[in-house]
Amino acid sequence: MNLPKVLFVGAGPGDPELITLKGLKALRQADLVVYAGSLVNRALLAELKPQARAVDSAPLALEEIVSCMAAAVVEGKSVVRLHTGDPGIYGAIQEQIDALAALGIGTEVIPGVTAAFAAAAALGQELTLPEVSQTVIISRREGRTPVPEGERLERIAALGATLCLYLSVGMMDEVVAELLAGGVYRPSTPVAVVSKASWPDERRIEGTLGDIAERVKQAGISRQAVIIVGEVLNARHRGVGEKSKLYDRNFVHGFRG
C-alpha cells in the first residue's frame, strides 16, 4: 500500500505572505492541517479547502498529534503539519518524523523563513559583515529544555560572532550576565530585540548589553522575540565594516570578468 507522505511545512515568522509557494500549495491541497496554534498566523488557515480540517496542536501531546495525522494518512488524506518559522529550528519535528516512520508513514519537509531572518529583515540588517563577523549562531539559553554543556551561552559568547537567541527573552538578566562572562562581548556591545517580527504588532528594541535587559522589561516583552547580539549591529549607526568583495569593482569573480 502506498500511503501519502505527511508534509511538514514552515509557515514563516508571521506575515502570511512569508510562506513559500511550495508550502502554500501544500496547504491549499491538504485535507488535514495540524498547526502550531501558539505561533502560526491563523490567517493562513483561510487558504484551506472548505472541507479541510484544521487542528491546533498546542493542547495535544506528541502521541495525539501523531495518531491524528496517521489516521488521516491511512484514509488516503493529504496531511500538512504546519510549523512556525522553519520546521528545522526548535520545531520538535524529529520525534514526529520518527514516530510516523515507525508506523510506515513517510514525510517531507518544506522549509520556511526562520524568526532570526525575519528579525534581521525588520531591522534592515545584514548579519554577516566582512571584517566584523562572518558567522551567525542560532542558539538559546537553557530553559526547561537542557542545552549541552559545550553550548552554554558563556562558551558561545567567547566567539564574538553574530548571535541570534530564540526562546530566551524571558530571561534577559541571565542572558546578559552569561554573554558578558564569555569575555568578548562588552557592556557596549550592541543588542537588538525584535518581538513578533513580520506581524502587525512587531516591535524592535535596540540597546547594548549594558542596558537591553532594562529596555526589554520596560517594553513588557517576555516572549516571542529574537535577541540579536554582535558588532554587526553597529554598522547601521557608525559605518563599521568593510565593503564586501562581492560587489567591489576590483574583485574578479565568475559572473564578472
Nearer to ligand SAH, 130 or 206 (CB): 206
CA dist., res. 150 & res. 230, Å (int): 20
The answer to the question of residue 118 lying near ligand SAH (CB under 6 A) is: yes
Minimum distance between the CB of residue 192 and ligand SAH, rounded to whole angstroms? 11
Considering only residues 6, 9, 13, 179, which one is a binding residue for ligand SAH as defined by CB under 6 A? 13
Count of C-beta atoms within a 10 Å radius of residue 220:
8
Q: Please select the residue that binds ligand SAH; options are 100, 119, 153, 180, rule is CB under 6 A.
A: 119
Binding residues for ligand SAH, total number by CB under 6 A: 25
Q: Which of positions 52-111 make contact with ligand SAH (CB under 6 A)?
A: 83-86, 89-91
Task: For 23-68, give the secondary structure using H, E and C.
Answer: HHHHHHHCCEEEECCCCCCHHHHHHCCCCCEEEECCCCCHHHHHHH
Please identify, using beta-carbon distances, which residue of 8 and 132 lies nearer to ligand SAH: 8
For residue 246, the minimal CB distance to ligand SAH (Å) is 27
Build a one-symbol-per-residue string for 123-162: x at contacts with ligand SAH by CB under 6 A, - elsewhere: ----------------------------------------
- Chain residues 185-214 in contact with ligand SAH, contact rule CB under 6 A: 194-199
DSSP the chain: --PPPEEEEE-BSS-GGGS-HHHHHHHHH-SEEEE-TTTS-GGGGGGS-TT-EEEE-TT--HHHHHHHHHHHHHTT--EEEEESB-TTSS---HHHHHHHHHTT--EEEE----HHHHHHHHHT--S-BTTTB--EEEEE--SSS---GGG-HHHHHTT--EEEEES-GGGHHHHHHHHHHTSSS-TTSEEEEEESTTSTT-EEEEEETTTHHHHHHHHT--SSEEEEESGGGGHHHH--SPPPSTT-TT--BTTB-
Which stretch in 66-74, 112-120, 144-152, 211-219 sits in contact with ligand SAH by CB under 6 A? 112-120
Q: Is 219 in the site for ligand SAH (CB under 6 A)?
A: no
- Cell match 537567541: residue? 165
Q: Is 34 in the site for ligand SAH (CB under 6 A)?
A: no
> Whose Cβ is closer to ligand SAH: residue 11's or residue 132's?
11
CB 74, min distance to ligand SAH, A: 28
> By C-beta, is 132 or 139 nearer to ligand SAH?
139
Stretch that binds ligand SAH, among 125-133, 143-151, 219-227, 235-243 (CB under 6 A): 219-227
Question: Which residue, 169 or 232, is less far from ligand SAH as judged by CB?
Answer: 169
Summarize as ranges the residues that interact with ligand SAH (CB under 6 A): 13-14, 39, 83-86, 89-91, 114-115, 118-119, 166-167, 194-199, 224-226
